[in-house]
Amino acid sequence: MSTVRELRIHGVGGSPGEALLGLSRPDDAVVVGEGLGTVFLARREEDGRSVEGYDWGALTSSSALQPLWLLLLPFTLLNVAGWMHPAFDRARWGRGAWWGQIALIRGLVRALGVLLTASWTLWVGVVAVDFLGYQWVGVLPSRPDRLLGVTAGFAVTVCLTGLLLWIGVSTKQRFERQQPDDDVLGADERPRTWGREETLADRTFFSHEPSMTRQLRWHVGAAGLAGAALLAKTVLAWGQPRLLLGELVVVVGGAQLLLLGALAVVSWPTGGQYPTARRPRALAAAAATLSVALTNGFMSGAALLVGRLLPDPAARPWGPELALVDVFVWVLLVWVVTGALFVWWHRRRGEAADLPPRRSRLGQELDGVDDRWREAVARARGLATAGHAAPVLLSLLAAEFWVLAMLFGLRRADLGQPPWRWLPPPDGRAWLFQAATVVLPALVIATMSLVRRATGAVRVRRSVGILWDVLTFWPRRFHPLAVRPYTERAVPEFQARLNAHLTAGRRVLVSAHSQGSVIAFATLAPLWPWKLERCALLTYGCPVTTLYGAVFPAYFGRDRVERLRAALLDGGRGWRNLWRRTDPIGGAAFGSPGTADPDDVHVADPAAEPSSAEVPAEAAPLEDYRRAWVQVAGHSFFLRERPLKETVAELADALQTVDGGRPGRGTGRAVTG
């Protein structure tokens, strides 16, 4: 049996099962290893055992509660924001100091996270205590006791907030407590609290359960303070027509806008990315702003929806928390227009002049493209460019929300009133307010409908799962109520299988597609140098540079990529990357605009070969060649490409020449540290 193993790992979209190995029947694959809800598969044939696949899709697509993760999206976005800072050696000021750029970004994100938890608790209290427990009970014909209604409202607030915190605690026990493989850690490397400049090269990067526990305590305290503020405001306003608990939401919302502005200033300078045509700015502020916008927009819609339950239209609860409700209508309109213009601009700028024209006549074999097909390829290339520029769009959308919220808020500010009365309740006559009473509740209903559909529709659940595969790569360092990270399991499990082969004297070719490339990077980065020298990496549809390197340069920036690249396959060319111009997610991993790198292998799309004369008489049993000139593959079907097959053979031959012996355990950090 071959001493070289090809270890495949798939991308987003659920579990591919045996299809990961090019098989069509489950019985053609055997299970050669298991994780916690995941499996390692190999081809049944003895000669095919040299190809294995890690199926990790169940970590994000098998949970029946997965659709409810949509409700945790704001917390998840804010957690991701904390990882969007410059490379540690490219910080503009105060590296390592409490007042340094990276420390300020992280501190502001944590403060916004605490405010987000408090805001969520306050919004639930406004709806449950003020709208339903106090106002709705007060206008019922039977006039029941308001005290009973308010008590029930507080009980609902405590239960819903407690449920949210319980989710963080329960998932922490099943994910953050997972330990790395013993062969990965050194004698003195046990999980601890987060360090200032930890990177993926740190072997305990995905094992910081003590830090998660400390974060949870802060957020339990924030929820408790918010509940105490609700109680105090209720007592002070008792007997009035309305409790106006929304004044507390206004105070927290104003603090959020101020902190978001400060975060935008601090996170504006970037550094550590590969040179790109459009370098995104203030991405930490952008993700945090979208988090705040989604929370307040969704909760405003829920409040308006509940307000419609009041039998008397004149008593509907227009409180301070709804005074900027029309801003969300403007934001939605601006976002739709901006997104449409963004896509249209990039789509029309795509070009395909390099493709040969079709010269064959009708009925003859294709040898190029006609005008219609050329336009289709040009559009696909333009949309791929739009996908790579998505971080810029993220910044634009966030800036639009922040500017509109500040302009509307300052315009309506009444400086003669206390700060929490800046925003008077709307009179309901303007068309924007009327539109908001329809649009925002409709969005809430649509979201809940999507959640309900996703619980039963596999296709919808898989589409929702793609979002989480990207967002939940990162540990919950900045918000413990984010969706639990699948990497806490996937990376240690993939490392364990890799170690099993390496310690047995085998050499391993890691073959990774899309998000699997990111997991593979995180798996290889902390390995001992003697192990990396016996590994090669093949990526395709790889977002390590196009997305992660641009957005998270401290962890996937140019220096990190080059260090891992240099350490693979005995310090040789051990990392090859295949990419297409039509791929909106992956791209070149090493090159920059105007330059090319020999390890970035461009794959033609549509395929230009093989011709009918080159196709073997017998069909290949696994992953036959893709047909020429009839398909734009974009982000898919890389395993059927001739360049990939040739690259696999080349890297496997190179690995055969590497010494398979195992030296003694080294010391210190990995080469990529």
At 351-390, the pLDDT tens digits run: 999 999 988 888 888 888 889 999 999 999 999 999 988 8
User: H/E element holding 32?
Assistant: strand 29-34
Residue 94 is predicted with a pLDDT of 80
Q: What is the pLDDT of residues 388-418, one digit of tens each?
A: 888 889 999 999 999 988 888 777 666 555 5
pLDDT at 137 over 90: no
- Give the total residue count for the chain: 673
Q: Does 626 map to a domain?
A: no
Residues 499 and 436 occupy one common structural domain:
no
Give residue 671's pLDDT. 45
Q: Both 220 and 262 in a single domain?
A: yes
294 is a domain residue: yes
The predicted pLDDT at position 82 comes to 95
Phi, psi of 75 (to 5 degrees): -65, -35
**DSSP of 191-260:** --SPPTT--TTSTTTT--HHHHHHHHHHHHHHHHHHHHHHHHHHHHHTTSS---THHHHHHHHHHHHHHH
Are 504 and 642 in the same domain? yes
Mean residue pLDDT of the chain comes to 83
Per-residue pLDDT reduced to its tens digit, 292-318: 998 988 888 888 878 776 665 555 556
Tell whether 104 and 167 lie within a shared domain: yes
Region class of 37: left (phi > 0), else alpha (psi between -120 and 50), else beta: left
Is 520 or 207 the better-scoring residue by pLDDT?
A: 520
Q: What does the pLDDT look like over 185-212, one tens digit per residue?
A: 555 556 567 888 899 998 888 888 778 8
Among the three residues 471, 498, 516, which one is the final residue of a domain in this structure? 471
DSSP 659: -
Average pLDDT on 625-647 reads 89
Examine residue 64 and state whether it is found in any structural domain, yes or no: no
| Residues 132 and 36 both lie in one domain | no
- Kindly state the average pLDDT of the residues 459-485: 78
Query: Residue 428 pLDDT more than 60?
Result: no
Instruction: Say if residue 500 is in the same domain as residue 426.
Output: no
Residues 52 and 78 in one domain: no
Q: What is the pLDDT of residues 163-172, one digit of tens each?
A: 888 877 776 6
Lookup result for tokens 């299809």: 19
The verdict on 77 and 55 lying in the same domain is: no
Number of domains present in the structure of the chain: 2
Mean predicted confidence (pLDDT) in 504-525: 94
CATH number of the domain that residue 564 is part of: 3.40.50
Residue 628 is assigned to a structural domain of this protein:
no
547 and 414 part of one domain = no
Evaluate whether residue 66 is within a structural domain.
Answer: no
The whole domain housing 586 covers 4-59+486-599+638-656
Asked if pLDDT for residue 599 goes beyond 70, the answer is yes
First to last CA, the chain: 35
Looking at the chain, the whole-number percentage of residues with pLDDT higher than 70 is 81
Question: Based on the domain organization, do 458 and 511 belong to the same domain?
Answer: no
- Within a domain: residue 334? yes
Q: Convert the pLDDT of each residue in 147-164 to its tens digit.
A: 888 998 999 999 999 888
Residue 611 forms part of a structural domain = no
Neighbours of 239 (CB within 10 A): 7
Verify that 76 and 55 share a domain, yes or no.
Answer: no
Asked if the structure places residue 631 within a domain, the reply is: no
Same domain, 370 and 510: no
Enumerate the β-bridge partners of residue 6.
51, 509
Choosing from 438, 471, 504, the residue where a domain stops is: 471
Average pLDDT, stretch 473-490? 90
